[in-house]
Structure 1
Amino acid sequence: MELVEQQWQEIVEKITGPELWFDVGEIILKIILIIVVASIAVRVGTKLVDRVFRKRDRGPFKITERRENTLKKLVQNTLSYVVYFTAFMMVLDTVHIPIGALLAGAGVAGLAIGFGTQNLVKDVVTGFFIIFEDQFSVGDFIRTASVEGTVEEIGLRTTKILSWTGEVNIIPNGNITQVTNYSMHNSIAVVDINIPYEVDVAQVEPIINDLLQEMPNQYTELVAAPEILGVQMLDASHIVLRVTAEVHPMEHWRMARILRKDIKAKLDQEGIDIPLPRMVMYTRDKANAETDGKGV
């Protein structure tokens, strides 16, 4: 009984003594200092990365703006991961947790769970090749994995794509097996114009062509003057003329709308109406009368 009371008294004295609280306070201060230093290191490193890529034109290595945005974001994310992981290890060491044994155990555990992380490895490897081969970059408009939108971020594991309606799609890189990139080359705007059969096509084409030749002076998105390809289709109530225009990447939707508006205004100015659907109706009595008249 006396031994138990003695041990209890020692525990109480240790808890209430100043030495324990000095040690706890010292540990807390070290942890706070590590977190603050890590945060400052990430901010300073991020600014240094921005400065390095901002001066890319002066250096010996030339990279495009698309690739710059991708690599800059990747380097900044990697820097954050490394700094915070190092800070986490330092915190564990501060609270007297053996890091060596922890890393050794993590290595053994990594071998055990390696077979269950095949998708993770696949995502990282695919992400590396996406960046290395420059399949697409931040700011590109792409379609992949049934998702279409602007690339916001490319990581080693996932890619973030912003749809034009505002949704952010986070796709594992391993699911990106086929990519359609709309931003690497010039786009083509395609516009079909309906012309009534009553109007001579040879009369309409010069009118539209004169308008198209003037458009490059008005719209900087155009690489060259739009062209009339000719009659695309003969419909039931109208003729379809096709116009194409080569524009800068991702400007084809906007320019197609402009082409429709300007061509419609030009045709209205020349007194050429856009055809309306037609429907011919026969009454049964009239049809029978015509049949009887033919038989007489």
Structure 2
Amino acid sequence: MAPYPTECIQELKAHKGPVNEVCYNKSGQYCVSAGRDRTVRLWNPLSAMLLHTYTGHSRDVLGVSVASDNAKIASCGADKAVILWDVGTGEILRRYTAHWERVNSVDFNDDATVLVSGSFDATIRIWDCKSSNFSPIQVIEDCKDSIMSIQVKGPEIVAGCADGRLRVFDLRMGQLSEDYIGPAITSARLSNDGNCVLVSSLDSTIRLMDKANGRLLNEFKGHKHTEYKLQSTMTNTDAYAMSGSEDGNIMVWDVLEGSAVKTLQLHKGVVSSIDYHPSDVAMVSAGADSIIRVWS
């Protein structure tokens, strides 16, 4: 058996139009998707059952995140809004509207007390999910261009920006580290051990960076990535890197060798989003063809 997914076992069809992001919840039992059709959808990926549709955005939904307790979902979109949802009832708990351009990415902190969003307005905003205050508790304005990707882990915020810089903010220490990559970054994701950052940029290259010192550890090529926001991720063992491509492929690379080991061809058009299961050999992928595929 391959140590990475090779076979499509389910196709989830419900979004009308492209799917901008798909991600697992923390246990990997469910997945959540964000669509151009202005909806957020909750799925059982193994049975392909659509469990809930969340409607409240007035334009494309660009990003989603699931809280660690699985009770809340956050979404953001082209309507400049960040929405906090109750998973069970589908009700909107909070709607944050302080960004003045589209919001590209959103993530919860570890205990889901705080929400962090990154926007085309070049700001990162931090929201308190517990208070009734709808203003951000902090605004970070160090980025010079659109923030395409946000990930929160512990006291750190990892941000990938269109200005070609990877930024890691340590909120506890009040420190910022910056690494200049060059081309616009569309995705920056920590390895599971937290030591590295996998960075996708618009030169059809994915770079594995050492988080501590900014050293380039490896590069992965062979996919097409020059125009669209694509995500890359690592397997749960950190042994393989994977990414969608603008030609409809999903590519898998050996992290140590840097060599491509597999190309999966089923999607039509851009494969914009990919997420790896937290514990199993499984992943979900989605993009322009409006179909979410589950791989095992």
TM, length-normalised to structure 2: 0.21
Higher-helix-fraction structure: 1
Structure with greater strand share of residues? 2
**Per chain length, whose mean CA-contact separation is higher, i.e. which structure has more relative contact order (CA < 8 Å, sep 6+)?**
2
